[in-house]
Amino acid sequence: MIQPFFLKKYVYIFLLMLVGSRDTRSSGKTVTDGHICGGSIITESWVLSAAHCFPNPSDVGSYIIYTGRYQLNGNNLHESWHRVRQVVIPSGYNEPHTGKDLALVQLSSSVTWSDHVRPVCLPTWSTLFPSGLLCYVTGWGNIREDVPLSGVGTLQEVQVPIISQTSCQNMYRMNPAEQVVILSDMICAGYQEGGKDSCQGDSGGPLVCQMINGTWVQAGVVSFGLGCAHRNQPGVYARLTSYSSFISSTIPEIRLYGRADHNWCGRAAIWISFLSTLLILLEK
């Protein structure tokens, strides 16, 4: 997380651990004893993350999810843990640059709502996130390129504006050495001059925006970028409005913003701004 500032409310965290060895094909190397991704809690039994965080979606037996955590290495008094039942990824997903970088993760046991664990609101297909809207990204990722979060590892947050698809594509075209196509199921956020961005380790985490009625709604899932906070290379996120049908068909009980009981979404927004997760990979 580039140019982060300290969050003052932490009532939304869970930690996802993988116990056992796994080939991390998304990075091309084995990662040990460190968090690799984030995500958001969307119902009592489901979490939202990125497809590239799960190179082997059928390997669910190794995962453990901890709720109520906000420090990577510190003492977390409100933790509870859950196993993973299944990981659902859009058909045809290949890698982040080709889109469909979304994962729905079902827990084997339900989360208990509390002052420390609440869900985020998700958008319908028609929810608008206009260019220039200031939104927030959270995570435990690098604070600068190749510089990990240090100390107790308190969850970080950065404010970035939404960038239109056309403007984002034009920015990436300024670097002809890197061919990046901004697809319709992607949304960009950041600054043309760089300086503030999500970074390695923030993948899967939420991009969340405050709507006109004060409700916080998740607009995107951290997907990819070229380095961190470089000029003309803003962060690219999976666009959740493109996946409202996929989410609703996978999770029939989900209540989307715009169709939901607004009082419910409002109560969730009062308790929290947004939800984040931590994915940790341990190799035996």
Active-site positions read 52, 101, 203
Q: Cα 5 vs. chain centroid, distance in angstroms?
A: 18
254 and 42 in contact (C-beta within 8 Å)? yes
57 and 64 in contact (C-beta within 8 Å)? no
Q: Using the 8-state DSSP alphabet, how is residue 117 labeled?
A: -
Locus of tokens 């319709």: 184
- Number of Cβ within 10 Å of residue 91's Cβ equals 7
274 and 120 in contact (C-beta within 8 Å)? yes
157 and 199 in contact (C-beta within 8 Å)? no
CA distance 161 to 93: 27
- Number of Cβ within 10 Å of residue 259's Cβ equals 13
Q: Is 63 helix (H, G, I), strand (E, B) or coil?
A: strand
Q: How many CA atoms lie within 13 A of 226 on its CB side?
A: 19
- Stretch (H or E) spanning 270: helix 262-271
Count of positions (residues) in the chain:
284
Q: CA 135 → CA 181, 195, 220, distances in Å?
A: 23, 15, 10
Q: Is 243 helix (H, G, I), strand (E, B) or coil?
A: helix
